[in-house]
């Protein structure tokens, strides 16, 4: 049984754009998929706002920028191709954001359980975290395919907390988009947003309880927010 100041706490992380900078590999897979249709490539800087809603939406939005709309059947095929391209070299250029590992170590040292709540597929999430050597840090990894309703629905957040062995009243969310904020808020949990993520609007407009500019701030902010809860 965990001991420490946060022994009863569960810290839930989003994955893409929050814990791991996955944009380089997601954009690589997206551009390889766009090549199948002869469409213009997306630049990483322009594509970051497309990340967070899954491969299918990335492809739809990227194609729309070229004025192309795919049939449902073709979009299904392209989504499968994207997943194959991505899975083949999932962590070629993806990295934990600076100081993320140290922040996780600090939270774990205080007894907190860590979990992932992501709209990425669970198998891809596990593969990525294993490739980065951090999968074992998490008590649960809950992708969009593992729940009936994904983020922004609060049930996705609740499932991540429950499967990690925690309770919502002693949990908080760390994310980067409105989907993360809405999911945790709907479950009645506080939310921390990182300012360096993939949100398509300014992070300080998302309505989080705290905005991080560096993972070095995560432990003290988490302690403060959790201390305010019974």
List the catalytic residues: 14
CA–CA distance, 92 with 141 (Å, rounded to integer): 21
CA–CA distance, 193 with 204 (Å, rounded to integer): 8
Question: Which residue in 150, 195, 204, 157 sits closest to 176, CA to CA?
Answer: 195
- Other residues' Cβ atoms within 10 Å of the Cβ of residue 225: 17
* DSSP, res 77: H
Q: Where are the alpha helices (DSSP H) in 96-152?
A: 100-109, 122-131
In DSSP terms, 12 is beta-bridged to 115, 173
């Amino acid at each position: 049984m965990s001991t420490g100041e946060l022994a009863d706490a569960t810290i839930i992380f989003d994955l893409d754009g929050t814990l791991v900078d996955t944009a380089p590999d997601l954009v690589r897979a997206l551009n390889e998929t766009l090549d199948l249709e002869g469409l213009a490539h997306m630049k990483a800087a322009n594509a970051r706002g497309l990340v967070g809603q899954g491969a299918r939406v990335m492809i739809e939005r990227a194609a729309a920028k070229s004025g192309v709309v795919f049939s449902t059947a073709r979009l299904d095929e392209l989504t499968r191709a994207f997943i194959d391209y991505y899975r083949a070299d999932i962590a070629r250029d993806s990295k934990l954001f600076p100081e993320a590992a140290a922040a996780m170590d600090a939270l774990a040292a205080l007894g907190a359980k860590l979990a992932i709540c992501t709209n990425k597929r669970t198998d891809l999430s596990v593969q990525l975290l294993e490739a980065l050597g951090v999968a074992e840090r998490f008590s649960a990894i809950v992708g969009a395919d593992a729940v009936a309703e994904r983020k922004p629905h609060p049930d996705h957040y609740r499932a991540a907390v429950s499967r990690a062995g925690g309770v919502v009243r002693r949990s908080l969310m760390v994310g980067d988009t409105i989907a993360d904020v809405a999911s945790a808020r709907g479950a009645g949990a506080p939310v921390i947003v990182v300012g360096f993520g993939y949100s398509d609007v300014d992070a300080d407009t998302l309505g989080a309880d705290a905005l991080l500019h560096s993972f070095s701030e995560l432990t003290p902010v988490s302690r403060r927010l959790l201390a305010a809860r019974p």
